[in-house]
Structure 1
Amino acid sequence: MDLQEISDRMEIADVVTRYTRAIDSGEWDRLDTVFTDDAQIDYTESGGIHASYAEVKPWLAEMLPAFFPQRMHTIGQVEIVFDGPDEAAVCAYFDNPMPLRDGQGGTTIVEIGGMYHHDVVRTPAGWRSRRLHEQVVWKRGI
């Protein structure tokens, strides 16, 4: 592994971290540093939408706080497979426990575990995800 590949791997792993931190903190504009303008995002396995980044960003900002007032990802294994110098496939394991509003003033904890599949590309602004598929492997409390 040469220095360029090491640097690329670190930058790509940071894309995954920026994604989860933006979702968890509700800093929706931070997602602009994660996705390309033409990115496609698929949340259908967890009950969400499959749409362009331009459609998904406001949907996340509206829906997540309405149902899940707090969010906290844990990222595990991150596999990065390069397809040439400017493209890579990323698979990152995740665990995401969240309090879900119960409609009666309380919350119950739900948890989703799975894998984030990103197709990332090198852009003039750095590595960005042009496709995200959230694969749900298990759920608890739903």
Structure 2
Amino acid sequence: MSISIDELLDRAGIEDALHRYAQAQDQNAWNLLDHVFTDEAQVDLVGLPAGTLPAQAFGQFLRDFNSTRLSGQHLIANTLIEVTSPTARSVSEVLHFTLQRTDDPTTLKLSEGSSLYADTWLKTDAGWRISHRVVTQKHLDERVVEYDADFIAVIEAGTATDWFQTS
């Protein structure tokens, strides 16, 4: 099977948008979501009370979730992409880790899990954008952890940094 330069560029554009999504949530860099979803996109959160949300409401859902989040990370991998320009489909495996604040400043809720993102893409003038996403939870382990205040301060310092900021 040979892949054309155009298909490689399409795949790179899709992977870039996937990473922008993860960085938006992981770094609270919400402006990155402007480069991920079409204006009409829908997100299906299978099995969650939120159900199906328009992309803008989903972005607010993520912001609300992050209001108590100390830190987190999404690792998107094993992505299979099928390009039929101007559309595409992708399926990605996702590992996610999140530390949520509690009422006790040294007690955190740790969530570790895995999900699957099944995305339908549209090639727009601004690049590849998700027009429909289905999110399924494959695994979730939640527990309470305790860290001393100094270590929590180290985590806060790392998550409050704008890594693209120029000096």
Asked if Structure 1 and Structure 2 have the same fold, meaning a TM-score greater than 0.5 normalized by the shorter chain, the answer is yes
Q: Distance in 2 between matches of 1:28 and 1:124?
A: 21
Is 1:109 paired with 2:110?
yes
Q: Distance in 2 between matches of 1:49 and 1:29?
A: 24
**Aligned CA-pair RMSD:** 1.7
Q: Is the 8 A contact 1:40 1:131 kept in 2?
A: yes
Q: Distance in 2 between matches of 1:35 and 1:52?
A: 10
Q: Which amino acid aligns with 2:53?
A: A
Q: Distance in 2 between matches of 1:60 and 1:29?
A: 13
**Which residue of structure 2 aligns with residue 138 of structure 1?**
139
**Which residue of structure 2 aligns with residue 9 of structure 1?**
11
**Which residue of structure 2 aligns with residue 73 of structure 1?**
74
Q: How many residues align?
A: 140
**Which residue of structure 2 aligns with residue 120 of structure 1?**
121
Identity of aligned residues (%): 23
Q: Alpha carbons of 1:46 and 1:100: their partners in 2 closer, same or farther (altered >3 Å)?
A: farther
Deviations 1:84-118 (A, max 9, x none): 22111111111001113333332031112021111
Q: Distance in 2 between matches of 1:109 and 1:47?
A: 21
**Which residue of structure 2 aligns with residue 92 of structure 1?**
92
**Which residue of structure 2 aligns with residue 22 of structure 1?**
24
Moved over 6 A (4+): none
Q: Is the 8 A contact 1:49 1:56 kept in 2?
A: no
Q: Distance in 1 between matches of 2:47 and 2:71?
A: 20
SS at match of 1:72: strand
TM-score by length of 1: 0.89
Q: Alpha carbons of 1:122 and 1:7: their partners in 2 closer, same or farther (altered >3 Å)?
A: same
TM-score by length of 2: 0.77
Unaligned runs of at least 5 residues, structure 1: none
Q: Is the 8 A contact 1:100 1:108 kept in 2?
A: yes
Q: Distance in 2 between matches of 1:49 and 1:100?
A: 22
Q: Is the 8 A contact 1:11 1:127 kept in 2?
A: yes
Q: Is the 8 A contact 1:72 1:97 kept in 2?
A: yes
SS at match of 2:82: strand
Q: Distance in 1 between matches of 2:6 and 2:15?
A: 14
